[in-house]
């Protein structure tokens, strides 16, 4: 199912503002990149097609049409992920190898406490109680806050 990988890949590389206006306000206000797809959207509205699927396909097609820009974004995302993983490793975290747009912190019973610390720092992470936390690679500033929270959390657990 290669197309699923492409959609995940594209969703990490497409700027959020390309999709949020459409998703946030529904079919009534279509953002300009999708305006030419009104016929597909109207079919989706009538139940012939799944709206999210149509928009995801159109985002993938548009992104692949701008391959050089997409490659720059993907390269930047990969570099940032590598920086975060290296930073966490230097702090003493054992991070599983990843090729995704997120890192996994295997916290076990401490997952909820870490998620609360992240929330207090203004970060959104996905907590899997009793297992760990998934942190999406985001802007450099947010990733720096993640590294700070992870360092402080690890130090607090050590003492």
Q: What are the tens digits of pLDDT across the range 4-62? A: 333 333 444 555 444 433 333 333 343 444 444 444 444 555 555 677 777 878 888 88
What stretches of the chain adopt beta strand conformation (E)? 102-105, 126-128, 132-136
One domain for residues 55 and 126: no
Q: 57 with 90, same domain?
A: no
Asked whether residue 151 falls in the same domain as residue 78, the answer is yes
Domain boundary among the residues 14, 46, 65 is at 65
Same domain (yes/no): 61, 85: no
Which is higher by pLDDT, 40 or 3?
Answer: 40
pTM over 0.85: no
Which of 65, 92, 119 is the last residue in one of the domains?
A: 65
109 is in which domain, residue-wise?
72-158
Same domain, 81 and 135: yes
Same domain, 56 and 86: no
Let me know whether 79 and 61 are in one domain: no
Domain boundary (30, 49, 65) is at 65
Q: 99-137, pLDDT tens digit by residue?
A: 999 999 999 999 999 999 999 999 999 999 999 999 999
Q: Tell me how long the chain is.
A: 159
Question: Within this chain, do residues 37 and 81 fall inside the same structural domain, yes or no?
Answer: no
Number of domains, the chain: 2
Q: Do 49 and 89 sit in the same domain of this protein?
A: no
Same domain? 54 vs 106: no
Sequence-separated (6 or more) residues with CB below 8 Å from residue 8: 100, 101
Higher pLDDT pick, 63 / 13: 63
Q: In 77-139, which ranges are E strands?
A: 102-105, 126-128, 132-136
Strands 102-105, 132-136: pairing kind: antiparallel
């Amino acid at each position: 199912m290669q197309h699923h990988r492409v959609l995940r890949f594209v969703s990490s590389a497409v700027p959020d503002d390309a999709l949020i206006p459409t998703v946030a306000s529904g079919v009534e206000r279509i953002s300009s990149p999708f305006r030419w797809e009104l016929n597909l959207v109207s079919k989706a509205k009538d139940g012939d097609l799944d709206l999210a699927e149509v928009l995801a396909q159109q985002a993938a097609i548009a992104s692949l049409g701008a391959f050089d820009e997409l490659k720059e974004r993907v390269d930047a995302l990969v570099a940032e992920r590598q920086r975060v993983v290296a930073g966490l490793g230097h702090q003493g975290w054992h991070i599983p190898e990843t090729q995704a747009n997120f890192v996994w912190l295997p916290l076990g019973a401490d997952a909820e406490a870490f998620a609360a610390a992240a929330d207090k720092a203004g970060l959104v992470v996905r907590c899997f109680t009793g297992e760990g936390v998934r942190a999406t690679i985001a802007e450099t500033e947010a990733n720096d806050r993640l590294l700070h929270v992870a360092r402080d959390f690890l130090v607090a657990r050590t003492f």
